[in-house]
Every structure is written in C-alpha cells, then in structure tokens.
Structure 1
C-alpha cells in the first residue's frame, strides 16, 4: 500500500484518536475474538452483557466490521470540503457520518460486497451489489436491499445502533482507552516534530516506512500488507493531508483507507506484542515457498537436530553437493538457515526460532 505525500507539509500529517473508528474495531473484536486473543475476556464479558435486541441488531449488520472494515467508521475522511480531522466525541463523529452524501455513504456501506471496486471509487451497480450480497446470506441481502431503497433510513438505523452500543458498553470502554490513545497521538506528533517522519513511521509499526515511487519522483508512505493499493495525500480536490489513528483494539490489524476521493487514513494498533523481528510479506512468502519443496523439508528435518556440512547432507540424501548448495541457498534467502565456519568446514543449521515464528507470522500478515 502506498500513499503519495510528495510536497505534503508536515503539519498536514496528523495523529489523533477517533472514537467511531475505535468503536468499529471494538465491534470487530466482539465478532471475531479469534483475531484478538488478548481481548477474549473483554469480548466474552461484553457479549454476555448485551441485551438480546442489541445483540440481534449487531448480528444483522456485522458484515460492516467483519467481512471488511467499512469506511463509514472514518466519515471525516470523506466529507467534501472538510478538514479531515476526527471528532472529540462519538456524537461529533456520528454527526460527521450524517454529513456524508448518500452516494459516499452507500458506497462505503457496500464495501463488503464490492471490495474489488474499492480502489476505483466507482459506484456499485445495484444488481451486482444485490448478487454479491446474496452470496453472503439473507441478512446482508436484506440490508443491501434496504440500503439501496432507503439510504436515509439505513443511516438513521445505524446511528441508533452505534448510540445504543455507546450506552451499553462503549462509553465505559472509551473512557478507559481514550487517555492512552491521546497520549500515543501526542507522542507521535512530538516525535514527528523532533525526529522527522522516517523515525515516526517506524514507531507507528515496523510495517510502515518512508519510500519513493519506482521512478524516484514521488515520496510515499509504504505500508507492508498482503494487498495492493495506491492513494495520494495531496489531491487538491480532496485537500492535502493524511491521518494516523491509534487503536487499542486493533492489533494485529493495520488498516489503510485508500479510496479515491477520500483522504488517506492509517489505522494502527498501539500496545501490540513486542515481536522479535516482524516478518515482511516478501520474507513470509520466501519462507513458505522454501518449505514447500519436499527435499528442503527433509534437509530442514536434519538441520533442526544439529549442524552439518554440505558434504554430509549430500551423503545422507543421496544427491550431489551442488544440489545441496542450491537448496541451502533458497533456505538462506528465506532466513531459515544459519551458517558458521569450523576450521575449513562450513556448518549449516536450521534457525528453529525463525521456523517457530512462521505460524504466527502467517496469521499476523494475513490479518494485518
């Protein structure tokens, strides 16, 4: 994911919390507790305390925060002529949601059916939206029909739903997490002022870096995700700016709003577990491909037990030393094998810690 920031003034790079965005990821954690093992206690207690009517309504609309994370939770980024700043309260941000024009509201609410069109910004054809919604079940289909027939009615229904969530559990949750999110936003703002953007982005996430376009002409914020997308923070029709929103409930998700005609937003987790060396998408792919070969798997089995020379591996597996070297080169590129010299011999051994990380790396990467 890339965000073009060429010529963007530093003061247009904003760090601030958003109660509506945090409500969205809290609802996601409530619906998908398997994504958030650290929140099982909160999710279990919150779900158990929900009144049946509210639980039913949340189930009716949960594809807005499970199948995709809908941009309706980031309305300030889509208001035409707005400044892109978040609100101080949930009520303020729900007022911003009311200010989204119907076309933008409907398109954002239909992301769960038409995600393939997200990067184009084009409106979804009603018949196609209904067809894709039907594939997901009767509740999404009913919601889509209502949305297409009566956007204002659905908008009011969603506002009431979010207000009821606030009364039921989110107001208390927000009081608890908001001070930490505000502190993180202040820290990142001060870090940006003192140390500059590259170091600030590293503090946001190891998956967020400062880079350049392929031709070297444009400076970009790059987010390492298992998806492709491009947007700009310097569109004169939208207004210059990019927002970074800290989230207490977000880990392991790192989300980027990159819809055309919307200001870009990076929604990043704070308080994430400390990872020894978070894997990039490229490294994870190299590791998965390296271990997909049956002979390399057998080599790994032997190298997990002790260090061996190329000749010893060749003798064990009945192949030539050059063949062993080619397979070892693949494993080394994937950072799965270490080498050390003992006299005139070079010994190879499996990096067991790196292999042990693959399962969690895979999950964190596909959820990022």
Structure 2
C-alpha cells in the first residue's frame, strides 16, 4: 500500500520546502492529545498539559476532532489557495489569515474529513451543501463519540461562528505555550528547509527525497526524460493525487516538523496542492540510565526538602537565594540540596548575566514516571 503523487511535468521551481507554524501547532496539539504516539515528547506533553488553564484544556478537548487521532487538512490552508503558490505563512497569524480565506464549503469539508478515511481521495461536494456528504460526515463523527458529534453539528449549523471560535483557540494556544515552542524550533525548521531546497537544486529530487524520509521514493526520471514520474510514499494506506492540477496550480510543498515523529503525513485531497509533512528526525528517549544514577535519583527525591525544591524549580527558574527564601532555609542549605539534585541529573543550571538559575529537567523527571511529574507540577 502507498500514496502516490504524480509529478510528471512539474517544474523544479514549483517544489517548495518551507516550515509552517500552523502545521507545527497541529502536531503539537496532536502530541498533547495522543502522548502515547510520541514517547520522546513525554516530558514536554506532561509539563504542558499540567500548565494549561482549565478553560483552554476544555476547549482543546472539545475540538480535538481536528487533530486526534488523525489530522484535518485545515492545518495547511495554503495548499488550497492558488495565490499562495504552496507557501505557508511565516507566522501563525499569517497562516490563520490564509485559513480565513478558505470559503465555508471548503473549510467545513476539510474540518469534517480525515486523511485516514476510505473516501478521503474521492473528493465530492461539501457536507455544507450536499445531504449525502453531510450524512456521511455525521456518521463518522458519531462513530467517534458524542463530543465529536456535537462539534460536527455546530460546525454545520454555524460555520462562521465555529471558524472564529477555532481561530481564537489557536491564538490562545500560541499565547499559552506555542509561542515558546515556535521560538525554539523555527530556526531549525528554516535551516532544514533551506538545506533540502539546496540539495534539490544541486543533486536532484531523488537525493532530496532520500534525506526527507526513507519512506519516500521517486519512480521515473525527474524533471523528465519522457515517461511518467511520481513520488511513492510507503504508508499503510492507499491514495493518489497530482502535483500538476491546473485548477489549483502546479506544485508540491514539503513541510518539516520537529514534533511529528513518527508520523509522515501526506495531504492528498482532490483540489488541494499535495503536501508532505515530514519529521526532521526520530525524537527518542535517551538510553536507560545506569543503576547508580537511578539510585542517586531515588535518594535525592527521598528528602522532603528536595521534593519541595523540585516543585519550585519545576514551575520556573530560581536562583539559590530565591529558593532559600521560597523554602525557608539558608542559602548554603539550598546550595547543598541543589548540588545533590544536579548530581542526580534532575536539575539543570544556566547563567544569565551575574545570576545562576536552576530549573527542573522535565525530560529526566518524566523518565521516573508521569505520576511523579504530575505530582510536582500539580
């Protein structure tokens, strides 16, 4: 089984490598909703979930129809807009502006369809205007539970209102956690996109695809030597699309992600420019620690004051003096406890000007168990 993208006659300059803030936010929301899919992000998903305000957590739960367990194509609106020429926005606000440009019929069809559906590649009218498509969309929603059913009915009854609600939700996610995520990853994503584009220019599409993922292969000679050329994506699903549809304009976009592993997503809906959303590398937990390190960590956490310090530095970075005042102990005593926690690999230290700041290493703590992590962050 595979997904096939026909690219015969596609000019090389129409192949775009570019990061997308909205696509990366979609993967972030998927990881929060399905943390078991992303064991290497366990520390981040646990700490982010624990820090969410209840109102935002409730709204994310209500809308996870859009990113869990599969993905809605509304995360890549640039692919449905000919004037965008396959280029995502540079900021989340720009991506959301592109999303606002989708008409209601297209938006509703994309929101209520999922790429793993057997009818995904067929196209057809929007559930907003076609009774049969509407019934099918509601059946899929019903199969996923009453919350998804209610969301689907709301979207069909009031597309503008729900669209505005979704945009506010994405904007609130940016304020709550995604702005920090994007600040950390955007340079890496942009560098990867530039590298892949340069590889395409210098060595050709076959070499560029090989670096994107071993699941991608090129059949035929690109850019063309007489005969069909296509990209084959090795997936446990079947699909087919073209990158030379005159209705949307020729082009193929490849979007890197730091959060996506192990998923390799392919947008191949009719009437949309094909998009390959690929992970930069496998995000894996580190190898098992030594028994000595495990013993040190257990010993470190057996002391009630060190547990209290973990709770403090799990929420923010503190200087030694601040921790001493926070915990009601002397600075030398706080320093001794911090030294023990650092030796156990549970606390990291960084310098900011003349201040030395200490913070809990959430990835290391997550390896001890989600109950402990949730306990110190509760």
Give the TM-score of the pair, scaled to structure 2.
0.70
- Distance in 2, matches of 1:178 and 1:273, equals 17
Q: What is the aligned partner in structure 2 of residue 243 from structure 1? A: 253
1:151 to 159, 167, 180: 159
For 1:209, the equivalent position in structure 2 comes to 217
Q: Which residue of 2 aligns with 1:135?
A: 143
Q: Quick one: which of 195, 198, 204 aligns to 1:187? A: 195
Structure-2 separation of matches of 1:67 and 1:151? 23
From the superposition, tell whether residues 146 and 113 of structure 1 become closer, same or farther in structure 2 (CA, over 3 Å).
farther
Q: State the partner residue of 1:79.
A: 81
Question: Higher relative CO (CA 8 A, sep ≥ 6), structure 1 or 2?
Answer: 2
Q: How far apart, in 2, do the equivalents of 1:195 and 1:273 lie?
A: 27
Q: CA RMSD in A?
A: 1.7
> Offset of 1:268 from its aligned partner?
0.3
For 1:202 and 1:113, locate their aligned partners in 2 and report how far apart those are by CA, in whole Å.
24
Alpha-carbon offset, residue 127 of structure 1? 2.4
* Offset, 1:135: 2.0
Assess if the C-alpha contact under 8 Å between 1:20 and 1:93 holds in 2. yes
Q: 1:117 aligns with which of 116, 119, 125?
A: 119
Gaps of 5+ in 2: 128-132, 285-378
Does 2:64 align with 1:62? yes
1:198 maps to 2:206: yes
Measure, in 2, the Cα distance between the counterparts of 1:113 and 1:247: 18
- Give the drift of 1:80: 4.4
1:163-217 CA-to-partner distances (Å, cap 9, x unmatched) read 000000000000001110001001001111111111110000011111149xx93
Contact 1:114 1:129 in 2 (8 A): no
Q: Give runs of aligned pairs for residues 5-24 of structure 1, distance below 5 A.
A: 5-24=7-26
Match of 1:100 in 2: 102
Larger mean Cα displacement after TM superposition, 224-233 or 204-213? 204-213
Instruction: Report the CA distance between 1:67 and its aligned residue.
Output: 2.8
CA distance in 2, matches of 1:170, 1:34: 20
1:228 aligns with 2:238: yes
2 CA distance for matches of 1:113 and 1:244?
Answer: 17
SS of equivalent to 1:231: strand
CA contact (8 A) 1:67 1:112 kept: no
For residues 134-154 of structure 1, the C-alpha deviation after alignment (integer angstroms, 9 at most, x for no partner) is 221111111111111111111
Query: In 1, distance between residues paired with 2:85 and 2:201?
Result: 21
Alignment of 1:277-296 (within 5 A): none
Give the distance between the partners of 2:219 and 2:283, measured in 1 at CA. 26
Go from structure 1 to structure 2 and tell me whether the alpha carbon gap of 1:32 and 1:160 turns closer, same or farther (over 3 Å shift).
Answer: same
**Conserved? CA contact 1:113–1:133, under 8 Å:** no
Q: Aligned in 2, Cα 1:237/1:204: closer, same or farther, shift over 3 Å?
A: same
Partner secondary structure for residue 230 of structure 1: strand
State how far apart, in whole Å, the 1-side matches of 2:214 and 2:138 are: 39
Q: Cα distance, 1:112 vs. partner? A: 4.0
Is this contact kept in 2: 1:246–1:269, CA < 8 A?
Answer: yes
Residue of structure 2 equivalent to 1:175: 183
- Secondary structure (helix, strand or coil) at the match of 1:115 reads coil
1:46 to 2:48 alignment? yes
**TM-aligned CA distance change 1:273 to 1:97, over 3 Å:** closer
**Matched length:** 272
Give, in whole Å, the separation in 2 of the partners of 1:212 and 1:229.
19
